[in-house]
Each structure stands twice: as structure tokens, then as C-alpha cells.
Amino acid sequence: MVDSACRRVLRNLHQILEPGRIRGDFCKEIQAHLNRCPSCARRHREVLELAVLCAQMPPPELSTTSKKTLLKKLRASLKPRG
Ligand SMILES: [Zn+2]
């Protein structure tokens, strides 16, 4: 089930990958939501796993352009369904 709180969290989940962008209170809100919403918690885990994978990529292969593409794909994948 995707309610409005889920949509809000998923829409902003990518911000956790951009340090300094996310506000502390919203970060807490996300954490609280993830604690009670298994489906968003799963998405959150996927995002973190992807972030770790990306961090492990050799720097020369991850140009600014591919970073942007990646972020775009990530954002698209985080769009709530339905
Ligand atoms: Zn949720």
C-alpha cells in the first residue's frame, strides 16, 4: 500500500545520497516512516545498496555525466507506482 506519507518519503529518498541537502527534521521523519513501513524500508535498503555499489566503482568510470544519469535513473526508480 502506498499512502501519501510513502509518496513523500519515496520522492525525497534520493536526498539521502546528497549529503547536506536533506534537512535534519525530514531525515527523522523518513527514519520514523521506515520503521513502520516495510515497503519503503525495502526501497531505502535498495537505494543504500545501489549507493554502496556506485561508491565502489572506479572513479574514472563514473564521470559527472554518468553520475547525473545514475541519479536520474535512481529518481525514476523511486517514483511511487500507481
Ligand atoms: Zn511507506
Distance 28 CA to ligand 1 centre (A): 14
The answer to whether the beta carbons of residues 54 and 70 sit under 8 Å apart is: yes
Distance 44 CA to ligand 1 centre (A): 10
Distance 69 CA to ligand 1 centre (A): 25
Q: Which domain holds residue 51?
A: 4-77
Asked if the structure places residue 67 within a domain, the reply is yes
| Structure confidence by residue, pLDDT tens digits, 17-75 | 776 777 788 888 888 999 999 999 999 898 888 888 877 777 665 667 777 888 888 88
Asked if the structure places residue 42 within a domain, the reply is yes
pLDDT score of 13 = 81
The total number of structural domains in the chain stands at: 1
Q: Check: pTM over 0.85? Answer yes or no.
A: no
Asked if the structure places residue 10 within a domain, the reply is yes
The answer to whether the beta carbons of residues 41 and 34 sit under 8 Å apart is: yes
Asked if the structure places residue 82 within a domain, the reply is no
